[in-house]
Amino acid sequence: QGIFVLGLPYALLHSGYSGLFLIILAAALCCYTGKILIACLYEENEDGQPIRVRDTYEDIANACCKNLSPKLGGIVVNVTQVMELIMTCILYLVVSGNLLSHSFPYAPMTEKTWSVIAFVTLLPCVFIKTLKIVSKLSQLCSLVHFIIILVVMTYCLTQIHQWSWAKFRLSIEFEDFLVSVGVIIFSYTSQIFLPTLEGNMKNPGEFRCMLNWTHFFACVLKTTFALTAFLTWGEETKEVITDNLPSFLQTLVNLCLLTKALLSYPLPFFAATEIVYACISRGNHSNHRSPLFALGVRGSFLLLTLLMAMFIPHFALLMGLTGSVTGAAMTFLLPSLFHLKLKWKKLSFLEKCADISGFILGFLCSLAGIVCSIKGLLEVFG
């Protein structure tokens, strides 16, 4: 349950009843593609027992593309992963600027200036070398997130007398709907972490059960949160739902959200820089292994996220674009494609149909979402 659930009520505003169906459908599809992605890590031995022969998303991609080029698939996956992780970091900076500007409306500073201030607090990230520190920050992040959701939901329940199902749209704009699809998909993306997660489980045999339960509860929480928030504010629902709260709660919640955003930033940042650094360090150049070079890689990425946040300071549109470009590809398109390639002879007819449907869905979501999100961004700037 990341910070991007705050965009789900806004997605419901533009997708109406279909948005509720999409939240449920996305959970089911993401759960399925997570399972088939992990299935691609295994091959059966002579006795028919599954043996883990691959460790990462990159290994799966390389196995699928070995006839074309031994490393082509890994390069495509790594580029897509880095794009998604870096865009996630940018979103944290964008939302930090938004939260600070709404928390201190009388301060003579723009959202971009506030984003720079948030960026300064993240400079120590260049010195993070292991996941130990990141894990401690993530633990604090989870606690803050619980407080935020509790406050927003409690306020919404106090306004239950104003709720009306008439606030839901029966007719929707096609382009707005497609942007909402990107937002909803992006709120579920976790495939890039699943191979590592499954490999570190005490009992990997429980992975499928774990995935079923986590996606079920994620779906329930997302639906409940998005629904109660939208029923409370209706047409006035804003891109970041906390902007709708009354002033006496808004400052408190925004500061909590700011803390969460800043605590969330190190994980995707660390993951992205580790992927890039690992790719560069595969050569034998000694300077690529020096601590100074690693510091330079992390510093460059940190600066890149700030520059991007300066040029695209629109939370929902940027999230929709990211969900369309990388989220749909990593969540639907690539797992389905890899599963068909590696397991074709062993799949039933229904499994083949499910994988082909997932691939087509991922392709259409990516294409339509890219076009509509970019169009929306151009309209904002124009």
Give dist(CA 168, CA 201) in Å, integer. 42
Query: Considering its fold, how many domains does the chain have in total?
Result: 1
Distance of CA 276 to the CA centre of its chain: 19
pLDDT digits (tens, 9 = 90+) for 8-27: 898 888 888 888 888 998 89
The CA radius of gyration of the chain, in Å to the nearest whole number, is 21
Tell me, letter by letter, the H, E, C secondary structure of 174-236. Answer: HHHHHHHHHHHHHCCCCHHHHHHHHHCCCCHHHHHHHHHHHHHHHHHHHHHHHHHHHHHHHHH
The whole-chain average pLDDT of the chain stands at: 83
| CATH label of the domain that carries residue 41 | 1.20.1740.10
In the prediction, which pLDDT does 90 show? 84
Cβ distance 325 to 83 under 8 Å? yes
In the prediction, which pLDDT does 336 show? 93
pLDDT digits (tens, 9 = 90+) for 56-97: 888 899 898 888 777 888 888 888 888 878 878 888 888 788
User: pLDDT higher for 285 or 106?
Assistant: 106
In the prediction, which pLDDT does 170 show? 67
In the prediction, which pLDDT does 316 show? 59
User: pLDDT higher for 367 or 33?
Assistant: 33
Question: 42: how many CB neighbours lie within 10 A of its CB?
Answer: 16
Q: Residue 236: which domain range?
A: 3-381
In this predicted structure, the answer to whether residue 305 has a pLDDT above a threshold of 90 is: no
User: pLDDT higher for 298 or 187?
Assistant: 298
Give dist(CA 118, CA 124) in Å, integer. 12
Read off the pLDDT of each residue in 319-339 and give the average, rounded to a whole number. Answer: 78
In the prediction, which pLDDT does 116 show? 87
52 - beta bridge partners? 42
pTM for this structure? Answer: 0.79
Give dist(CA 94, CA 319) in Å, integer. 10
pLDDT digits (tens, 9 = 90+) for 139-177: 888 888 888 888 888 999 999 988 887 777 666 777 677
In this predicted structure, the answer to whether residue 32 has a pLDDT above a threshold of 60 is: yes
Is residue 358 very low, low, confident or very high in pLDDT (cuts 50, 70, 90)? confident
Max CA distance (Å), the chain: 71
In the prediction, which pLDDT does 133 show? 83
In the chain, % of residues over pLDDT 70:
90
User: pLDDT higher for 97 or 372?
Assistant: 97
42 - beta bridge partners? 52
